[in-house]
Amino acid sequence: MEGNKPDRYISLLLGAVAGISIGISILDIIGILTGWAARLTPFFVGILLLYVVLERERVDSIKYIVRRLDKGIDRVNAAITRLQGGRRTTGSKSAGMTAAYREIPFKGMIFRSKTEVRIARALEHAGIVYLPPTKARLNTSTGRQGREIDFLIFDSGRWGMLEVDGPWHSPGSDAQRDAMMRANGLTHIQRFDADRCYRNPDAVVAEFMAALRSQQPAPQSPPVQ
């Protein structure tokens, strides 16, 4: 790939300086210009040092620009993470925006956002049994359907569903989804704002567990004889 005009001029200048210095050195060796190679060496070295300084300044400027771009990209990614919350998006355009956060490994599990990972860490620290984001198959009035669950939590015979809600959730669709879950026996469902889950996951988990433990545990099946 060809460089720009200043780069080509500098390359030509350095080539000319190198050619002249070699020629003078040869003439000095054969006795035609005795001593001139030594006299002109500081001049040639000065030109080379000036070139090195100019190139270093240009490289430093490029590095500065790259660092600024990296910081800007990090801010954008952080903002997308907070907005995306815990719910997976499905459209092709949205999927492209969240590709970097769609598969985040943690403790051998896969999460879809850093917010979910924060909740998982809080559950780990509290020693709570839970299942990571998964899809459940349910009975509905129109047949079997699949529905996504953010966290399915078990505690002493009690099952609960902890949902991390991003800004795109609608109360109407969430209410229908929760009613479907309750009709299938999962009666304890709590939803939390994604921003709160990201900022204070321990408090979210503590509030959820306090509410879950206030429920009656599911009856135990008799042992098989």
Q: For residues 122 and 116, give the distance between their C-alpha atoms in angstroms, rounded to a whole number.
A: 10
8 A C-beta contact, residue 161 and residue 188: yes
Higher pLDDT, 161 or 75: 161
Q: For residues 167 and 83, give the distance between their C-alpha atoms in angstroms, rounded to a whole number.
A: 7
Selection from 91, 92, 89, 93 nearest residue 102 by Cα: 89
Q: For residues 133 and 112, give the distance between their C-alpha atoms in angstroms, rounded to a whole number.
A: 8
Please tell me the predicted confidence (pLDDT) of residue 190. Answer: 95
Q: For residues 218 and 29, give the distance between their C-alpha atoms in angstroms, rounded to a whole number.
A: 100
Selection from 193, 202, 200 nearest residue 85 by Cα: 193
Please tell me the predicted confidence (pLDDT) of residue 101. Answer: 46
Residues whose CB is less than 8 angstroms from the CB of residue 27 and which lie 6 or more positions away in sequence, other chains included: 33, 36, 37
pLDDT band at 20 (very low <50, low <70, confident <90, very high): confident
Share of the chain above pLDDT 70, in %: 58
Higher pLDDT, 178 or 32: 178
8 A C-beta contact, residue 63 and residue 75: no
pTM over 0.85: no
172-225: pLDDT as tens digits = 888 888 999 999 999 999 999 999 999 999 999 999 999 999 988 776 666 666
Token pair for 2:
């060809």
Q: For residues 214 and 158, give the distance between their C-alpha atoms in angstroms, rounded to a whole number.
A: 10
What domains appear along the chain, each with residue ranges and CATH number? 5-82 (no CATH), 102-213 (3.40.960.10)
Token pair for 39:
């006299």
Mean pLDDT over 47-56 rounds to 64
DSSP letter for each residue of the chain: ----HHHHHHHHHHHHHHHHHHHHHHHHHTTSSTTHHHHHHHHHHHHHHHHHHHHHHHHHHHHHHHHHHHHHHHHHHHHHHHHHTTPPP-SHHHHHHTGGGS-EEETTEEESSHHHHHHHHHHHHHT-EEE-SEEEEEEETTEEEEEEESEEEEETTEEEEEEEE-TT--HHHHHHHHHHHHHTT--EEEEEEHHHHHH-HHHHHHHHHHHHHTSPPPPPPPPP-
| CA-angle at 44, arms to 41 and 49, nearest 5° | 120
Task: Specify the amino acid at residue 184.
Answer: N
